[in-house]
Amino acid sequence: MRKFAVFSGFLGSGKTTTMMALAKKGTKTAMITNDLGNKGLADHKLATLRECNAAEITGDCICYQTEKLVENLNRLFEEEGCDLVVSDIPGFGVGALDHVYHTLGDKYPGQYELAPFTVLTEPRTVDLLREGGGDLAYILHTQLVEADLIVLNKCDLLDASGREAAVQYLKKTYPQAEVVTLSAVTGEGLDALYKALTEGQASMHRPDIGYGGEAFTEVMGRVCEYNIQYYATVCCNDFDGNAYLLDLAREVQKRVGELKARIPHMKLLAWEPEGEYGKVDLLDVDRPIEVSQTFGHPCTELAAALNASAFGVGTELDAAITAAVEQVSRQYQLDLVIYRKEVI
């Protein structure tokens, strides 16, 4: 089997977490993290720290890098012996059904079996859609219009009636898609998702998503990707890496909130040479900060990657996030060497 699946879905819906759960070492599933920006981004680094079968395609969406995608797929299927490869696309992306699935079908006929085009969503997105989707309505809705398979992730956050209501809403609003529930964190529903991916087929439908139209251009014009990567030397041996990451996320949340900008997902990952790591996620200015991994002991030396996907003015977000990194690092007496910074 040479099965390939695209995971679309809004920022923070759990694409990377789900891919990591599927692509555990020892399985024949591999994941490709696809992000804008240069190499060494947080999602891929996290997948390697968790010892997943992971490859990385950066610089642009796989929508526009078909040859690089094909190169990676062939290596994973032929050299690594995988039978299922899953790649995400950047979390504000739309159009991968056409740009990835139909392009592969047209240019590489019969080479890959395409799994149902999969879109992850989470309870908060469903609530937002029910209220009309706000200023991100175009992305939230269009991603789901493309789906063959909708995964309602983070169902650990819902009780039975909440799940049922969300599933019914999704089924009614997007009748072309099958809907499954998942908790990528607890693993509930993971076997059913694997079965749906490996046994199901892409429908290869061609919905009109208004790609390049007015709504598309308006929202894409507000998207901003921020990537900073640095080394930090610790001065004192009681440095608490967990408190540092949390304070940094809080400072970013405060400063971005003051700009009245949106930051649907900021990933902050820091790791030590020995392989211990800490991770916090900020899923917008009005939501609690999530800690998904903590250091087990005081840190002596760190590398960090902070990747943020935001809606706002790039220069303002850059100034706010960079100032947060510098301020909080100074408070913790860290000596910083910033080796990469990008605002896209």
Ligand X SMILES: Nc1nc2c(ncn2[C@@H]2O[C@H](COP(=O)(O)OP(=O)(O)OP(=O)(O)O)[C@@H](O)[C@H]2O)c(=O)[nH]1
Find which of Mg ion, ligand X, none residue 281 binds, CB within 5 to 8 Å per kind: ligand X
Task: Please state the closest distance from residue 327 (CB atom) to ligand X, in A.
Answer: 24
Among 29, 56, 65, 91, binds ligand X (CB under 6 A): 91
Residue 12 or 116: which CB sits closer to ligand X?
Answer: 12
The H or E element spanning position 279 is strand 277-282
What's the rounded Cα separation, in Å, for the pair 109 and 106? Answer: 6
Q: Does 16 bind Mg ion (CB under 5 A)?
A: yes
Residue 190, token pair as written in the block: 């993971």
The H or E element spanning position 90 is none
Contact map string, positions 162 to 201, toward ligand X, x by CB under 6 A: ---------------------xxx----------------
Stretch that binds Mg ion, among 7-15, 55-63, 101-109, 135-143 (CB under 5 A): 7-15
Stretch that binds ligand X, among 107-115, 151-159, 191-199, 298-306 (CB under 6 A): 151-159
What's the rounded Cα separation, in Å, for the pair 143 and 60? Answer: 18
Q: Does 34 bind Mg ion (CB under 5 A)?
A: no
What's the one-letter identity of residue 65? Q
Q: Specify which residues 305 forms β-bridges with.
A: 229, 269
Answer yes or no: are the C-beta atoms of 121 and 40 closer than 8 Å: no
Which residue spans within 207-261 are E strands per DSSP? Answer: 223-234
Count residues near ligand X (CB under 6 A).
22
Q: Does 308 bind ligand X (CB under 6 A)?
A: no
Q: Specify which residues 212 forms β-bridges with.
A: none
Residues ≥6 apart with Cβ < 8 Å to 158: 123, 166
Among 8, 43, 116, 262, binds Mg ion (CB under 5 A): 43
Task: Please state the closest distance from residue 219 (CB atom) to Mg ion, in A.
Answer: 19
Stretch that binds ligand X, among 14-22, 109-117, 230-238, 324-332 (CB under 6 A): 14-22
Q: Does 292 bind ligand X (CB under 6 A)?
A: yes
Answer yes or no: are the C-beta atoms of 258 and 310 closer than 8 Å: no
Task: Please state the closest distance from residue 323 (CB atom) to Mg ion, in A.
Answer: 25
Closest of 223, 221, 227, 222 to residue 37, by C-alpha? 227
Residue 239 or 277: which CB sits closer to ligand X?
Answer: 277
Among 153, 181, 227, 253, binds ligand X (CB under 6 A): 153
Residue 123 or 264: which CB sits closer to Mg ion?
Answer: 264
Task: Please state the closest distance from residue 135 (CB atom) to ligand X, in A.
Answer: 18
Answer yes or no: are the C-beta atoms of 201 and 113 closer than 8 Å: yes
Residue 94, token pair as written in the block: 């739309």
Q: Does 93 bind ligand X (CB under 6 A)?
A: no
Answer yes or no: are the C-beta atoms of 8 and 146 closer than 8 Å: yes
Stretch that binds ligand X, among 5-13, 71-79, 194-202, 331-339 (CB under 6 A): 5-13
Residues ≥6 apart with Cβ < 8 Å to 180: 149, 150, 151, 152, 189, 192, 193, 196
Answer yes or no: are the C-beta atoms of 277 and 293 closer than 8 Å: yes
The residue whose Cβ lies closest to ligand X is 91
φ/ψ (deg, to 5) at 288: -65, 145
- CA distances, 255 to each of 11, 13, 261, 320 (Å): 20, 23, 9, 6
Q: Does 34 bind ligand X (CB under 6 A)?
A: no
Site residues for Mg ion per CB under 5 A: 15-16, 43
Site residues for ligand X per CB under 6 A: 9, 11-17, 43, 91, 153-154, 156-157, 183-185, 265, 281, 290, 292, 309
